[in-house]
Amino acid sequence: MPFETWENIPKSQEDNETIEQAIARLITAHNASEESHLGLGQSLQSHKASEIIDHAALSIISDKVKSYSIFPDHLASDRIVIRPTLETLDGWNQEGLGSCSLDLGVVVLFSGSSINNYRRIYGSADYYDLSVGSGNPVFETILKFDKVVSQEGYFGIGSIDTNFLGFKVVNSVLYACTVSDGSEYLELLSGVDITDRDAFRIVSDSAVSTKFYVNNELLYTEETYFPLTDESLTSLYFSIKTTEASQKRMIIFEARMIIDS
């Protein structure tokens, strides 16, 4: 009797299907079944019931949730969101010899055309008890500059005269900026074109760290210098100054701040 390997042996004298053919047929049928692995204790049932299983960190929102499918009643509301419409400057404090222009959903700050003219706007924090010692504030804005020379711009949380977390622009160069009790600390953020419409974000962890993002990319983490923890900070601070006799502009498309309730 010639030697045969097991996969070539028929199932029975009445059915000449080989064992290997039967295995392939059953696997194909299993893969095609909508009921596979759905039973109690089986893998898909466990997958559905588990809060965290075999997904890379932070992968769910970006590739599993349909665009425009999240509604406010599905979001946590344990943080305060300050998000002005930018169609009015009511409630904003304004300073400087420059001016402001309002268009649909856009605020434009004009520095003025004499050397060292500036325009700044900022929101009061009287009702928020905002400080970096508590509240873990997050600042976000979308904006651009239309010039790259002889200008100085700031945007963030606080006041550049006392305590501040934010970004600074000098000519065309962008910096992460912290002001603590009047002393300014800067970190160069390279590779950012300030004439593009960019998204900026600051995430503060209560005087433990401050993270600076541009277009969702983390560019720098500050772990040494912070505003004084017991100082109240104003919200949503924007400023543009010209250092020559020529007007500069800061164009603000979006601005918001989030703090713990």
Q: What is the pLDDT of residues 61-104, one digit of tens each?
A: 666 677 667 776 666 677 788 888 898 999 899 999 999 999 99
Q: What pLDDT is recorded for position 45?
A: 64
pLDDT at residue 253 greater than cutoff 70 = yes
Residue 88 shares a structural domain with residue 26: no
As a dihedral over the C-alpha atoms of residue 88, residue 93, residue 99, residue 105, rounded to 10 degrees, the angle is -30
pLDDT at residue 218 tops 60: yes
User: Do residue 37 and residue 145 come from a single domain?
Assistant: no
Query: What pLDDT does 40 receive?
Result: 72
Residue 23, helix vs strand vs coil: helix
Whether residues 62 and 85 share a domain: the answer is: no
Distance between CA 122 and CA 94 in Å, rounded? Answer: 7
What pLDDT score does 223 carry?
A: 94
Here the tokens at position 233 are 């900070």
Torsion angle (degrees, nearest 10) of CA 144, 147, 150, 152: -10
| 206-215 confidence digits (pLDDT tens) | 778 999 999 9
Full-model pTM: 0.75
How far, in Å, CA of 136 to CA of 20, rounded?
Answer: 62
Q: Which pLDDT belongs to residue 56? A: 61
Task: Report the domain count for the chain.
Answer: 2
**Buried b vs exposed e over 104-119: b needs ≥16 C-beta within 10 Å?**
eeebbbbbbeeeebbb
Residues 28 and 111 in one domain: no
The predicted model gives 122-128 an average pLDDT of: 74
Let me know if residue 72 belongs to a domain.
Answer: no
Q: Which residues span the domain enclosing 47? A: 6-66
Question: In this predicted structure, what is the pLDDT of residue 134?
Answer: 63
In a domain, 209, yes or no: yes
Same domain for 47 and 121, yes or no, is no
pLDDT at 166: 95
Please list, in sequence order, all residues whose beta carbon lies within 8 angstroms of the beta carbon of residue 102, skipping any fewer than 6 positions away.
86, 87, 88, 89, 108
Residue 73 in any domain: the answer is no
Same domain, 45 and 94: no
Is residue 74, in this structure, part of any structural domain at all?
no
Assess contact for 152 and 142: CB atoms under 8 A.
no
Residue 23 pLDDT greater than 70, yes or no: yes
- The region of weakest confidence among 63-67, 118-122, 167-171, 220-224 is 63-67
219-245 residue pLDDT tens: 999 999 988 766 666 689 999 999 999
Residues 21 and 121 in one domain: no
Percent of the chain with pLDDT over 90: 47
For the stretch 38-53, pLDDT in tens is 677 666 666 666 655 5
Token couple for 181: 């009790």
Confidence band, pLDDT 50/70/90 cuts, at residue 205: confident
Lowest mean pLDDT among 2-6, 20-24, 27-31, 253-257: 2-6
Q: How many CB atoms lie within 10 A of CB 189?
A: 20
CATH number at 163 reads: 2.60.120.200
Q: Write out pLDDT tens, residues 131-161.
A: 655 678 899 999 999 999 999 999 998 889 8
pLDDT of the residue at 230:
66
- Do residues 118 and 245 share a domain? yes
pLDDT at 185: 97
Q: How far apart are CA 181 and CA 98, in angstroms?
A: 27
- Average of per-residue pLDDT values in the chain: 84
Q: What number is the average pLDDT over the span 201-205?
A: 92
